[in-house]
């Protein structure tokens, strides 16, 4: 191959390069340039998303795409506990990696991973909102990495093995209660009244459940004991199901409306971060700059290689330059 570190030898080396090797590297550089361009704009779009959506107080947030800021908190009920460190948290993600040796070199291969989808709260000075983390891009500030010799850690991060000799690496990310958090997603206030259509759907679903236990259904509604439900008896079952659904709706209406933040259905970005907004924007901008730099450098080198090769071919069409 040619020595790119010596510009004076680039053109002769490109002219003399083996065609298969030349076109492999030329297309690889062009592909890297295109990927860099696309990735650069993706990171810029992420930065613009964070910057362009204004922060809304939870109490007065409009229905739709919003940005909320506050502190993470647990919902009532069973606690959320991270799998590797058994830490109480509001969200977790983990992976266990195994060292795979290849002669003198080695790399880490993921053998187990998981991400929490439990609901948690974001609170600000005006109210609270339930956060559904499913499908969100989560950027946590807390990340713990340690090492050991078993598929599951026998000791906590404070008693870690050595990175160079351990067989396993453990990585756990968390959002802890009271962590600062900002989130960009679809805000929806849900009341206890589901509407007539939803009530009919709930009645149909309840009847479907009842039909799975024919013996109990007949015992309750087979008035003439003939082993089947006639139209009048089936209507009685429908009315009983409706009364049960309406009783549940009445109980739900007594509860206050619930704010929920979730993934937008129109495909817009859904992001949760415990880092400050300025840090996240700067991080995305740096990644975008790096990707666009790859686009420029790889594109320039690839274009120079192809142009040099093509010019040589045009100047000596009968030479064996690889065409």
pLDDT in tens, 108-155: 999 999 999 999 999 999 999 999 999 999 999 889 999 998 998 888
pLDDT digits (tens, 9 = 90+) for 235-272: 888 899 888 888 877 776 666 778 999 999 888 889 99
Helices (H), the chain: 10-16, 19-52, 196-211, 214-221, 231-253, 277-315
Same domain (yes/no): 89, 180: yes
Residue 322 is predicted with a pLDDT of 47
Q: What is the band of 290 on the pLDDT scale with cuts at 50, 70, 90? A: very high
Average pLDDT of the segment spanning 10-27: 78
Same domain (yes/no): 214, 122: no
Same domain (yes/no): 156, 297: yes
Residue 3 is predicted with a pLDDT of 46
Longest dimension (CA), the chain: 102
Residue 293 is predicted with a pLDDT of 93
Q: What is the band of 43 on the pLDDT scale with cuts at 50, 70, 90? A: confident
Report yes or no: 180 and 71 within 8 Å, Cβ to Cβ.
yes
Same domain (yes/no): 248, 266: no
| DSSP code at position 220 | H
Same domain (yes/no): 30, 157: yes
Give the end of a domain, one of 253, 273, 302. 253
Same domain (yes/no): 177, 232: no
Give the end of a domain, one of 229, 253, 277. 253
The alpha carbon of residue 97 and the mean position of all alpha carbons in its chain are separated, in whole angstroms, by: 20
In a domain, 204, yes or no: yes
Report yes or no: 166 and 147 within 8 Å, Cβ to Cβ.
yes
* β partners of residue 190: 258
In a domain, 320, yes or no: no
Same domain (yes/no): 71, 213: no
The alpha carbon of residue 254 and the mean position of all alpha carbons in its chain are separated, in whole angstroms, by: 35
In a domain, 304, yes or no: yes
This prediction has a pTM of 0.65
In a domain, 136, yes or no: yes
203-217, 283-297, 298-312: the lowest-pLDDT one: 298-312
Domain containing residue 246: 196-253
Number of domains in the chain: 2
pLDDT digits (tens, 9 = 90+) for 82-93: 999 999 999 999
Two structure tokens written together for 310:
């093509």
Same domain (yes/no): 244, 270: no
Distance in angstroms (rounded) separating the CA atoms of residues 313 and 323: 7
In a domain, 86, yes or no: yes
Same domain (yes/no): 133, 113: yes
Residue 279 has pLDDT above 50, yes or no: yes
Same domain (yes/no): 79, 32: yes
């Amino acid at each position: 191959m040619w020595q790119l570190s010596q510009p004076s030898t680039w053109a002769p080396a490109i002219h003399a390069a083996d065609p298969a090797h030349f076109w492999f590297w030329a297309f690889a550089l062009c592909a890297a340039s295109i990927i860099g361009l696309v990735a650069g704009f993706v990171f810029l779009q992420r930065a613009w998303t964070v910057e362009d959506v204004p922060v809304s107080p939870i109490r007065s947030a409009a229905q739709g795409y919003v940005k909320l800021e506050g502190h993470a908190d647990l919902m009532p009920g069973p606690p959320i506990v991270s799998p590797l460190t058994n830490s109480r948290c509001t969200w977790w993600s983990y992976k266990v990696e195994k060292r795979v040796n290849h002669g003198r070199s080695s790399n880490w291969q993921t053998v187990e991973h998981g991400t929490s989808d439990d609901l948690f709260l974001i609170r600000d000075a005006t109210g609270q909102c339930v956060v559904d983390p499913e499908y969100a891009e989560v950027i946590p500030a807390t990340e713990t990495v340690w090492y050991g010799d078993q598929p599951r850690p026998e000791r906590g991060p404070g008693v870690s093995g050595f990175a160079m000799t351990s067989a396993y690496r453990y990585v756990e990310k968390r959002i802890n209660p009271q962590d600062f958090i900002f989130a960009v997603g679809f805000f929806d206030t849900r009341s206890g009244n589901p509407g007539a259509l939803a009530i009919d759907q709930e009645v149909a679903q309840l009847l479907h459940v009842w039909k799975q236990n024919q013996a109990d259904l007949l015992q309750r509604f087979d008035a003439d004991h003939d082993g089947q439900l006639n139209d009048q008896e089936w209507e009685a079952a429908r009315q009983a199901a409706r009364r049960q659904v309406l009783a549940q709706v009445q109980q739900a209406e007594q509860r206050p409306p619930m704010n929920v933040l979730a993934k937008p259905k129109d495909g817009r970005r859904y992001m949760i971060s415990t880092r400050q907004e300025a840090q996240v924007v700067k991080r995305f901008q740096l990644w975008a700059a790096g990707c666009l730099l790859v686009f420029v450098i790889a594109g320039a080198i690839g274009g120079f290689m192809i142009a040099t090769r093509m010019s040589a071919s045009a100047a000596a069409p009968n030479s064996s330059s690889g065409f």
